[in-house]
Amino acid sequence: MDMDGASVNGSPAGMDRKRWTYLDRILNRPGPFTDEEWVPGEPNIESLERMKILGAGGLGCEILKNLALSGFKDIHVIDMDTIDVSNLNRQFLFRQADVGRPKAEVAAQFVEKRVRGVKITPFCGKIQDKDEDYYMQFGMVICGLDSIEARRWINATLVGMVDNDDADTLKPLIDGGTEGFKGQARVILPTMTSCIECQLDMHAPRAAVPLCTLATIPRQPQHCIEWAHIIAWEEERKGNDTLDTDDPEHITWLYQKALARANEFNIPGVTYSMTQGVVKNIIPAIASTNAIVAAACCNEAFKIVTSTNPPLGFPGTNNYMMYTGDDSVYTYTFEHSKKDDCPVCGNLAKNLEVDPNTTLEDFIASLAEKPEAQLKKPTLRTEEKSLYYQSPPSLEEQTRPNLKKKLSELVSDGEQIAVSDPAFQITFKFKLVFKK
Amino acid sequence: MEEPLTETTPPILQDDEKKRKKYDRQLRLWAASGQQALEEAHVLLINSGPGVVGVETLKNLVLPGIGQFTILDSAEVTEADLGVNFFLEPDDVGKFRAERTCALLEELNPDVQGHYNTEPVEYFLTQSSDTHSLRPFTHILVTAPIVPELLADILTHCRATSKPLFYIHCVGFYSVFSVQLPSAFPIVDTHPDPTATTDLRLLTPWPALSALVEEKTRDLDSMNAHEHGHVPYVLIILHFLEVWKQTHDGQVPSNYREKSDFKELVRKGMRINNPEGGEENFEEAIAAVLKSLNPSTPSSAVKEVFDAEECKNLTHDSPHFWVIAHAVSDFYKAHNALPLPGSIPDMKAQSADYIQLQNVYKTKAREDVAEVTLTVRELAKQHGHLAQVDEKEIEAFCKNAAHIKLVRGRPINPAFPGQKLKWGQRAKAAVSALTNPDSLILIHIAFLAFDEFCASHDADALASAPRAPGSQDSEVEFDAEKMTGIANTIIDNLINEAGTRIEEPDYSDIGARVANYVQDIVRAGGGELHNIAALTGGMVAQEVIKVVTKQYVPVDNTCVFDGVGSRTEVLRLGADVSV
C-alpha cells in the first residue's frame, strides 16, 4: 500500500485549489528572501504532494494537523503508545472514549476525516521495530519523541543510512521536545550538520541519588519514594509482581511504603502525586508548548520542501531554536556545531577524563550519568581485550572479575575503548584520559 | 513545636479525582490554585481575517480546561478557510464560522463551555450606551485586522476595567502580539529557577541557627569518620566563619580574595586520610562559599514594588498584594532583610541532623510570617481595610518575597491611518532597536503599517470589511509600495519623536530591511500559514495562562515572531499612562 504513489496524488495538480488559497499565495509568489532561482507555483505544490514524510512521538497530534494543513499529502505516523487519560490535556485528537486505543491509529483517522485529500498511514509500534528499508522510503522525518534513547536511535539510523553518492539517502531529521513552558526545535541534515548525538550534552540526565542515601540516610521525600521504588519493592514484592507504574495499586503501595518511611525519619512532603512523578519520571506537559514546538518543526519542514523561505539547518546557518516561556518569552536560535568526535557522525574518539583509581564497575555506573555518554548497559572492550560484556552469560561471567579492578590495571592512559549498548546500533569510541 | 507530619489523603470526590488525572501534567506546573483560576476565566475571542490564530489559541486554552470561551465572528465559512483552519469540516462551507469553530472546539473538553456570537463587532459593541457588552468576559483576545476606532473602544474598556487584552497579528511567516495588562499587575508566584532561590543567611545567622552550629560542630575534631563526613555543609560554613572572624576583627570574608582564603580554611578542615581522599560534605561547603556568602539585597524588581505608590499609600480598598507588600517592606526596613523563605537544598547529612537544620529554617520562616501577619492586621485596621487577608496569601508572599514581580501594563496604541503614533517614553528604546540588525522591531512596524493599510482600504463597496494588502494578485507590487511608504512614515515619526537622527548608511539600511518585511507580509495577502498560526496560538495561550493564573511572568508587552529565522523578540512599547 505504501508504494501506491498514484492514489496519493488523487487531485491532479491544477485542479480546484480554492481550499489552498492562502497557502498558494506563498507557493506562487516570490518573496524578498526566496532564492533567485526559485520557481513559483506548480513545482512547489508537486514537492509537497510527493513528499512522503514521517511523524513520530508525543507531539504527533500537532505534527499531523500541521503537516496536513501545510499541503503534505502522504504522511506516515509511528507511535507505540495507547491513549491514556493524562494525554487528554494536550493531545487534542483524542477523546475520553478513545482511552486505551492506539494513538497512531486514532490520530490518523481523525486527521484524514477532517482534512480532505490527505492520506495518513499509521504504524502502532516502536520506531526500533522498523529497519533502514522502511526509513529509506521517506523524504523527511519529524520527531517529537519523549525519550532521549529513541531520539538517539533514530538519529543514528538516519546518519547510518547516508550514502554520499546518492542524495536521496539523506533524510532531514527535524526534532522537537518540550518540558513545561520550555521546548526546542532543531533541524539535522544527517552527516552534514550537528546531529542529536553531537548535542547530547544539552540534555544531561538528572543525577541519581546514591544508593546509600536511599538505604540509610534519606532526607527528602523523593529519597523515601526512590527507596520504596528501588529497594522495598525488590525485597517485598518482586517475586510475585513486576512493577507496573501504570497500575494504581502498585503506585499506592509505593506511596504508602514511602510515606511510612518518611514518617519514621520525620521527613515531610510525600504525596501520591509526587510518588507517581518520581516513579514514572513524569515531565510536565501542556498543549500550548506542544503547539509552539510542533509548529516550529513543521514550519521548517514546509520551508525545506518548498523553498518558500530559508529554513534552519543548512551548514553554516542556525539549526537549533530554544524556547522558554516561563519568564516572559525568550528564544535562542543558534548554530550547534558538528563535533568531530561525535560517536555517531564524527570519526574521532571522544576524550573522557577518568580517575585511574576508579574501579571498572564504578566507571560503568558513571557512563549512565555522564552527559556525553548516557549509556545504561554498556559492553566495553579495548583493541586487544574484552573489559566487560553484559551478555551472553558466559562472557559476562568471564569478564566479571574485571569489575573490581582499577582502570589503571586494565587500560593505559589515553587508550581507546569501544562501548556498545543494546539500546543503540552503533559503537561509541572513547579515549580514556587519566586525571592527574 | 512543629506541624504533624502524617499526611492523610482526604476523601476525594470522583469528579475531582477524574480531573486530577486528566490534568495531571499541567497541575505539576500551576497547581490546583492555577487550575481554579483557569476554570473561573471566560475568554472572548474577537475574530477576523482568516481567523486561525485566535482559534488555535482557544484550542490551547480549552484543552487545559478554561472555564468558558466565546467567539465573536460574523464571517461565513469559505472554501479557503478549510485549507488553514483545523476546526472546520468540509461540509461547513457557508455556515457561520463562529458557530462551527465553537462546536468543534467544545468537543475537545467537556469541562469547557463554549459560546458564539455572529454579530459584526460594531453591532456587538454598540448594543448599549457604553461598552458593557464586554463586561461578562475576564480576558479579551482580538485578532487583526480590525477597524481602529473599534479597537480603541475595546482597549479603553479593558483599561478602565483592568481587563487583560491580547491583540494578535498573524500573516504569512510573521506574527506579533501585544498584551495590555492593568497598570499594576503584580505576581507573587513567579516560579523562579529553584537553584536561584536558596537563601541561607549564612552571614547573618539568628540565635537558633548559631546554637545549632555550636551544638553540632563543637566536637568536630573528635568526631569519628562517619560523623565528620556527615556534618551538613551549612553548619560547616557557619562553623568556619566563626573561626575566620576570630582572626579578622570579627569581620566575615567580603571580597573574592577573602572568600578564596576562606575556602582554603574550610579545605584545611577536611579529612583526607580516608580511602576517598576527601569528604563530600566539605566539598559541598567549599563549592557553596562564593555564591552563598553574599548579603541578601532585594532585587530591583522587589524595590520597585516597595517604592510603588500603591505600596506606600494604602487605602481601605487596596488589593491584598499591596497590603502585604507594605508589611513586608516594613519588615525589610526593620531587619534589613526580607522574610526568610525557609527552604534549604539537599546536602550530605544524617537524616536527623538534616531534619533538625531544616526545622530551624522553617521555624524562623514561620516567625517571620507571623511578624508580617501582625503588621498586615495592623495596617488593615489603620486603613479601615475590610477584607481579611488570608494567612496563606501572606505565607506565599513571604516565601517568594525575593522573586515577586510587578508588571506595569502600558496601553496599546492603535494605528490610525494618517495619524502620528505616540511612542512616548519608549521612543528612545524603539529608535535604538531600529539600528540593531538583530532586532525584530521592523516586523512590528510592518504590522503597524498593515493596520493602517487595512483601515484605509475596504474589501468591497459596502465598506464592511477591511482589505488586506496583497489580497489581489494584480495589486501585490502596488500594495507593497504603498505599505512600505506607510512604514517609512512611521519610522520617520518615531525618529522625530525621539528627538534624534539616524545617519546614512544606517537610515537606508532600515528602509531596505523594513521593505523586505513589508514585501513578505504583502506576499501572503492577509492570509495565515497554518504553522505560524499554530505556533503563535501556542505563544498567546501560554501568555493567557500566565495572566489568568497570575503565575510565571507574562510578556511585557509586545512579542514578535519571525518564522523565517525562527526567532522571537519581546519589546516594551505602548503609550504612556496619563495620570
Report CA-CA distances (Å) from A227 to A10, A262, A380, B353, B359: 58, 10, 30, 19, 23
Whether A212 sits among the annotated catalytic residues: the reply is: yes
Identity of the residue numbered B117? N
Task: Tell the CATH superfamily of the A211-280 domain.
Answer: Ubiquitin activating enzymes (Uba3). Chain: B, domain 2 (1.10.10.520)
pLDDT confidence of residue B295:
82
Do the Cβ atoms of B520 and A217 come within 8 Å?
no
Do the Cβ atoms of B524 and A33 come within 8 Å?
no
pLDDT, tens digit (0-9, with 9 covering 90-100), for A203-251:
877 788 889 999 999 999 999 999 999 999 989 987 778 899 989 899 9
Q: Is any Cβ of chain B less than 8 angstroms from the Cβ of A118?
A: no
Gap between the Cα atoms of B403 and B194, Å rounded: 11
pLDDT tier at B345, thresholds 50, 70, 90: very high
Is pLDDT above 70 for A133?
A: yes
Q: Which domains does chain B have, with CATH numbers?
A: 28-183+530-571 (3.40.50.720), 184-192+297-407 (no CATH), 200-295 (no CATH), 424-523 (no CATH)
Gap between the Cα atoms of B479 and B498, Å rounded: 29
Nearest-CA distance B512 → chain A (Å): 11
Note whether A171 and A141 are within 8 A (CB).
Answer: yes
The nearest alpha carbon in chain B to A61 belongs to B86
Gap between the Cα atoms of A88 and B561, Å rounded: 28
Q: Residue A26 half-sphere exposure, CB side, CA atoms within 13 Å?
A: 31
Residues near B238 by beta carbon (within 8 Å), at least 6 away in sequence: B202, B205, B209, B210, B213, B217
Gap between the Cα atoms of B394 and A113, Å rounded: 52
Mark out the alpha helices in B247-317 (DSSP H runs): 256-269, 280-292, 300-307, 309-312
Gap between the Cα atoms of A65 and B476, Å rounded: 30
pLDDT confidence of residue B479:
96
Nearest-CA distance A294 → chain B (Å): 8
Gap between the Cα atoms of B376 and A293, Å rounded: 44
Q: What would the grid cell of residue B373 be? A: 501577619
Q: Is any Cβ of chain B less than 8 angstroms from the Cβ of A427?
A: no
Gap between the Cα atoms of A281 and A148, Å rounded: 13
For the question of an ipTM over 0.90, the answer is: yes
Gap between the Cα atoms of B425 and B414, Å rounded: 17
pLDDT, tens digit (0-9, with 9 covering 90-100), for B250-280:
999 999 999 999 999 999 999 998 888 899 9
Segment B154-179 mean pLDDT: 96
Rounded to 10°, the helix A248-264/A272-280 angle is 110
Nearest to A79 by CA among A33, A120, A111, A122: A122
Contacts of A314 in chain B (CB under 8 A): none
Label residue B367 exposed, middle or buried (CB < 10 Å: 0-12, 13-18, 19+).
Answer: middle
* Listed range (A149-153, A267-271, A381-385, B473-477) with the worst mean pLDDT: A381-385
pLDDT, tens digit (0-9, with 9 covering 90-100), for B456-501:
988 766 556 778 999 999 999 999 999 999 999 999 999 999 999 9
Mean pLDDT of chain B: 93
Gap between the Cα atoms of B395 and A366, Å rounded: 41
Q: Is any Cβ of chain B less than 8 angstroms from the Cβ of A19?
A: yes
Residues near B400 by beta carbon (within 8 Å), at least 6 away in sequence: B188, B189, B190, B192, B341
Task: Tell the CATH superfamily of the A350-434 domain.
Answer: Ubiquitin-like 2 activating enzyme e1b. Chain:  B, domain 3 (3.10.290.20)
Q: Catalytic residue, from A198, A212, A297, A298: name it.
A: A212
Do the Cβ atoms of A219 and B566 come within 8 Å?
no
Partner residue facing B531 (CB), from A33, A70, A328 = A70
Do the Cβ atoms of B26 and A289 come within 8 Å?
no
Q: What would the grid cell of residue B181 be? A: 495588562
Strand order in the sheet with A330-334: A119-124, A74-79, A52-57, A140-144, A173-179, A182-188, A320-324, A330-334
Partner residue facing B21 (CB), from A19, A86, A292 = A86
Give the residue extent of every domain in chain A.
Answer: 5-203+285-334, 211-280, 350-434
Element (H, E) at A158: helix A148-161
* CATH topology match: A5-203+285-334 vs A350-434: no
CA-CA-CA-CA torsion sign (B225, B231, B233, B236): negative
Q: Residue B52 half-sphere exposure, CB side, CA atoms within 13 Å?
A: 27
Tell whether domain A5-203+285-334 is in CATH 3.40.50.720: yes
* 3 state DSSP class of B39: helix
pLDDT, tens digit (0-9, with 9 covering 90-100), for B46-104:
999 899 999 999 999 999 999 999 999 999 999 999 999 999 999 999 999 999 999 99
Is pLDDT above 90 for B5?
A: no
Report CA-CA distances (Å) from B240 to A426, B12, B213, B274: 51, 50, 10, 22
Do the Cβ atoms of A21 and B476 come within 8 Å?
no
Please give the DSSP secondary-structure letter assigned to residue B92.
G
Do the Cβ atoms of A85 and B470 come within 8 Å?
no
Contacts of B355 in chain A (CB under 8 A): 219, 265-267
